[in-house]
Structure 1
C-alpha cells in the first residue's frame, strides 16, 4: 500500500474499528475524510448479491467518464478479470478481508495508466453489507479525466492483515502475486473446506483451490 489516499483511508478505517473486524458503516463521517472523498467509493450488494456502487467520488467518476452510482463494480474490469474481482469483493463482504489491487486502466483512446485500489469492509448488518474503497493513480498523465478509463486489468492482489503493524505498511516491500484464476479463488473465504489463511508478516496468504 503505497499511495497517500490508500494509506490515509486505511488508517482512518483502522482507527474506527477499534479491534473489531470492521467499523459500522454509520461510523464513517465524510467530514473526517473530506480530503479523500473525491477518490473514495462505497459498494453495496444488489438483489443478485453482486457489488454495485452506492456512492463514488467526483474524481473516481471523472476518471471513468460519468456517474457510477448503481453501476456494477465488475463492469469496470476486463471480462477475463470479472470473476476474480467478484470473488475478491465477496471476500470483503463476507470475510472482512482487506484487499489491495494494483491495476492497469485502459482509456477509450487506448492509453494506459496504473492505479492502486484499496477495499475495506464495513459492518452494515447481515442484510446490508458494505465496503469502502479508494482508487489512486500511480501516475497523473495530462489526459487523465479527459480520456475516460473504460476497462481495468488486475496486475496484482494483496490481502492485508490490519493487525500486523499497520503503521509500517507503506515502508514494506510489496509482495505482488499474479492474477489468480476463478478456480484458484474458489475457496477465498467462501467455502467450508477452505484452508485456513497463512500469515507472512503483514500479509494473509489464502491457498487456492488447485489440487495438482
Structure 2
C-alpha cells in the first residue's frame, strides 16, 4: 500500500474486525477515520454484474465530477477493466479479502492520473444487501480538480491481502451457492 490514506483505512478496518473475517457494517466506528471519509465509497451488489454506489465521499465525486449515488461504479472503468474489477469486488466480498489495486485515470483533457484503490468487505448479514467499502486516492495531488473530470479508469495492478485465497474451483462453487434462489449440491467424489 503506497498511500498513507490507504494504509490508515486498512489498519482501522483490520482493527475493527478483530478476530472476524470482516467487520460488521453497523459496528464500524467512523470517528477515527473521519479525515479519510472524503476518499471513501460503499458499493452494493446487484445482478447481473452491477456495483451501484451507495455513498461516495466528496473527493471521489469531485474526481469524477458528478454525484455518484445510485450509479454503477463499473461504468467509470475502461471496458477491459470492468470484468476484472467486478471479479475483484466479488472476491473481496465472497472471500472477505482486502484488495489493493493500482489504476490510471484519463481526464477529459487528456491528463493521466495514477491512483490507488482499496476494496474491503463487510461481514455478511442475512436478509441485507451485500456491500463492500473502499477508498480511492490519487498517488500525486491532482491540480485539475474542479477544472477537469475523469472520463475513465483502467486497472493496472492488484493483489489480495488477508487469509489464504480459495482455489478457482472453490471460488466458482461458492459463487454459485451464493446466487439468490439457487442452491448447488455438489456430487463430486474425492
- Fold conserved (TM > 0.5)? yes
Question: How far 1:31 sits from its partner (Å)?
Answer: 2.3
- Residue number in structure 2 paired with 1:7: 7
Q: Does 1:139 align with 2:144?
A: no
Secondary structure at the counterpart of residue 123 of structure 1: coil
| C-alpha contact (below 8 Å) 1:99/1:157 kept by paired residues | yes
**How many residues are paired up?**
172
How far does residue 51 in structure 1 lie from its aligned partner after superposition? 1.5
Where structure 2 has 5 or more consecutive residues not aligned to the other structure, the ranges are: 175-190
Normalized per residue, which structure has more helix?
Answer: 2
2-side partners of 1:11 and 1:155: how far apart? 24
Q: Residue 172 of structure 1 corresponds to which residue in structure 2?
A: none
Give the match for residue 159 of structure 1: 160
In structure 2, what is the equivalent of residue 103 of structure 1?
Answer: 103
User: Does structure 2 conserve the Cα–Cα contact (< 8 Å) formed by 1:41 and 1:54?
Assistant: yes
TM-fit CA distance, 1:162: 6.5
Deviation string 1:32-77 (CA, Å, 9 cap, x unpaired) is 3110010011111135452111100000000000111111111111
Quick one: structure 1 residues 87 and 35, their matched pair in 2 at CA, closer, same or farther if it must change by over 3 Å?
Answer: same
Moved more, 45-54 or 81-90: 45-54
Distance 1:2-1:60 versus aligned 2 partners, 3 A rule: same
> Partner of 2:21: helix, strand, or coil?
coil
For the 8 Å contact 2:51–2:72, the answer to whether it is kept is yes
Q: Give how far 1:2 is off.
A: 1.4
Cα deviations by residue, 1:90-124 (Å, 9 ceiling, x for unpaired):
11111112100100010011111100011100014
Task: Output the CA distance in 2 between the equivalents of 1:69 and 1:19.
Answer: 32
Does the CA contact (< 8 Å) of 1:101 and 1:155 recur in 2?
Answer: yes
Residues 1:187 and 2:168 are matched in the alignment: yes
CA RMSD of aligned residues (A): 2.2
